[in-house]
Each structure stands twice: as structure tokens, then as C-alpha cells.
Structure 1
Amino acid sequence: MMTKLAAADGHQFECWIEPAVGNRRGGIVILQEIFGITDQLKGVARRYAQLGYEIAIPALFDRKQPGAVIPFDQALRGRDMMLASDLSETMADVEAAVDHLKANGGKVAVIGFCWGGGLAIRAAQKLEIGGAVAFYGTRLPQYLDRPLKAPVLGHFGTTDDHVPPEMLEQAKAYLPELEVHMYEAGHAFANDARPAYVPEAADLAHARTEAFLQRVL
């Protein structure tokens, strides 16, 4: 269900909440690609809710265009909105979602995809969370300015043109605790609604993520 949350600066934004199925084991904030709260992302939320986690997906584009959901074939529109976003404001919205889940008890982790994958690393640097998972996180150089406060698991494709090998190596050198797994795939390999989807890689990445979450939450 969609609810409204407020960031520390007073900004109100929509947030998709997926209740935990069965005994609640903690919370997970899922951070979007450059497309908003898509039906595909809600499917990811259902997947992790089945494991007993309460899920929150904050609408990180609400500061620019409330309710914006960008079709997958209009990536440039989503990219422009992402580039227009202010990192500190975006992280205030992420923190509000983390705090919302924390208020319901238990530890909270952050999982992000693409733009959200980079933001998940930032969350592990700035917020009080149990851990973070970055699926092909982008814009990595802008996060190489402070150490990690929480463990981070990273999933990257060997042919991802958004995250070239030298960018990933730079990130691993700066953040040596980063646990990185590589997959024979390109960008967005875990998005089952896009042509880039690689089922074997996605399944393995989600299995590793589930084990990581059990450990950190």
C-alpha cells in the first residue's frame, strides 16, 4: 500500500509499504532505479516480504515530480530526473524510510538497484543500518569520500557499461570491506521486466542477498 512519509526537512513523499508475511524479521528499504516505484520493484518487495521482512520503497523522484513512474523505454527522462536530484535531499528521504521501519522494531537493511545501488552504499556510510546491498550501483565515484559504517554486498555484471571495471576497482580500493560478486551479465540483469534480465545471475544474486540479510539483520 502507498503511504506518506516526511523527511527531516519537512518534505512529504509517497512510500510503498509491503507488510512482512508471517513473523516480522526486520525491515528493508528498497531504493529505485531511475524509473520510480515501478510494478517490477513492487514485485521485488513481495519477494522479500515473503521472507518475513517489512519493505519500504520511498518515491525518490517526488521532490521533482510527485508520483513519477518512468516507462523503461524512456531511460533518458529518468536519467535527467536523477541528475537533477540533490544527494543530501535524496538521502533525507531514504533516512525517513529507514526510520519508519525501525519504529516497527528490529534492524533495517537497504537494497538498491542502479541509481539506488549507489545510494545503498551511501546509506551504509551515513545511516544507522544493519547492512546494504547494491545491485549494479552506479555513480560510484561520488561515494568515495568516507568509510562504510555497515557491511555492503555488491552485485555487478562483467559487461555493465554503466560501471566499467576501472570504476569498480577504484571503489573496491577505497572501500576494501565491500563484498563484490561478478556475474556474466550487463546492467540491470536482475530486472525481470527488461531485456537485460539474466535469470541465472539474478537468482544467484538474490540467494546471496538473502544469506547476507540473515547475517546482518
Structure 2
Amino acid sequence: MVVGKVRTSPRISLNKLGEYLVSKPGRRRTIIRDQKEPSDFIVARYAEAKRIIQDCLVSGGADVRPVNRAIEGFSGSYETKWQKDTAILCASALRAFLRMSASIPLNGFNPVRGIDNPEKMNISGVDVSVCPEIILLAPSQDNAIVGGVKLYFSKNNPLTEDASEFVGSVLYRYLSEVTSSESAVSYKNCTVVDVFAGKCFIAPKTYKRNMNDVAAACAEIYHLWNVA
């Protein structure tokens, strides 16, 4: 494993925060350590698959020919085992996406690519990297942000119902508070997509209790950051 820069300030990705909230104490410590000293290789695993899925959704999702061409491209030769394994995983992710792409709800809004390094959401002293892959805009409201899509990639650890509700709740609050006006964003337009499991989870209508649990989990991460 290649470890990148050690992070001195507490931060966590949204998908890992969702896992953290439904994990046992030992796994929680491991998640904190992995977020503190992230592996560059792990971070990059699905980067290309994510980009291709974003392109497909931004185009409306109807034309999947570029996705099929990308899958074929991943069958080439590679110099290292890591490159080969990454290509196999990305191809698998894209095949899974093709099986469920039509079920991803864009709700008639205009999908645009989320920026790569957007503003983070600070919760209880922890910077949460939400990074929606897709932002939904409403032309009838002067391109107001009304929702978004968060992609989840894990071949062996599908997103649980409870974890998806936490991720969806944070996604909804992030789009409401950090990037837009709360009146324009609807939980109905905030979707978490488990690519490998082929499931779409809509953010829950009742999010306040979830956000209380999220705040408590982030407070725990903050206090454990330098001892995990």
C-alpha cells in the first residue's frame, strides 16, 4: 500500500462517514486511520469509472455506447498488477452501471458534472468531503440547484440501508446549505447510487435525527483523530 500525505486536520469522505456510522468500534478506528493516512492507490481505484459514469449521466444516460467502448478499452495490457487490477475493477463497475443506469432518477432536471474539489462541509470540527458526482439544475428556476447524485463504489461491501440514509441526509444538507438555497433543494432529488449493488437510495424525508447522529459521529472522529 502506498500511503499519501498524512492529514493533520480531521476529515473524512462522505461514503466512509456512512460506513463509520454503522460500524463497530474496531472498524471505526481503522476508518479513521485510513482517512488520516490515505492510500493513493485506493483513492485512484475507481477514478476513471467515475468519470465515464459522470459523462454518461450528464449526456442524459440514454447513449451508453461510450461506456461500452470504455469497457473494451480496459481489456488492454498493463505494466503493473495494480494497473491491471484497477482496469478490471473499473470495467466491472461500468458493467454494473449499465445494468442499472436507466433506474437512476434525474427527475427531468439538467444533470451537470460536480466539481472535483468542492467546498467541504464542516460537521463537529471534521471536514466532510461530500463531492456529489452529479448536480441537478432546474432551468425553470434559473438553473437553481435542486438535487444531486452521489456514487458509491465497493464490490464486496454493499451500502446498507442505514448507511445510505446517513449518506443521503448529508448529501441533502450539503446541497441545501453549502451550494444552494434550501428552498430549491428537495430530498426527493438527492440520490445515493450503489453502483455494484445496482441500487438507488433516495435521501430520507426525515433527516434531522440522522444529522444528529452524524454530528455525534464527527465529534467522535475529531476527538480520536490523533489517537486512532
TM-score norm. by structure 1 comes to: 0.28
TM-score norm. by structure 2 comes to: 0.26
Higher strand share: 1
Higher helix share: 2
